[in-house]
Amino acid sequence: MSSNSDASDILDEILEDSKKPTSTPEPQPTSTPEPQPTSTPESETKSPKKPFSPEEKPTRKLILVGVKPLVTYVNSTLTQLSTLPTVTIKARGQRITQAVDVSQFIMKRMHSIGYRISDVRISSDALESRDGKTRNVSTIEIDISK
């Protein structure tokens, strides 16, 4: 089947890109001398800047399903799964079927990789419609993990 090999090719490309080492260019030393700081009351009252510390990587990423084509959400989910242990696909209302399709595409086409559905949550949200009435809208969240 060509669709199975296409999906495998896409996943292989994603995994290869994530394994490539990223190198950052080292700053070049400047030959201009730095001006000597002058002692002013304003500079003495400023606190020194704290070094930048990157935040911890999130353990779960949320993919919201909307009106885009199905393959867009599949690619987004596979991209996130290459770096994260769990990804959540979430949809409301009429888009619930599309969220289920995304999860089933990943499960059936990428079965050899070892992805599995770890949790499914269903609920309803109370939303206010344009005419001012409160309506209940069904939601689904599907967790896919390695």
pLDDT at res. 2: 47
Give CA–CA dist 13/23, Å, rounded: 19
pLDDT in tens, 33-81: 555 555 555 545 555 665 655 555 555 688 899 999 999 999 999 999 8
Going along the chain from its start, the domains and CATH numbers come out as 57-146 (3.30.110.20)
Q: pTM value?
A: 0.57
Q: Of how many residues is the chain composed? A: 146
pLDDT at res. 1: 46
Cα of 67 vs its chain's centroid, Å: 18
End-to-end CA distance of the chain: 24
pLDDT over 50 (residue 20): yes
Residue 114 pLDDT grade (very low, low, confident, very high; cuts 50, 70, 90): confident
Give CA–CA dist 106/116, Å, rounded: 9
Give CA–CA dist 146/68, Å, rounded: 25
Give CA–CA dist 20/17, Å, rounded: 5
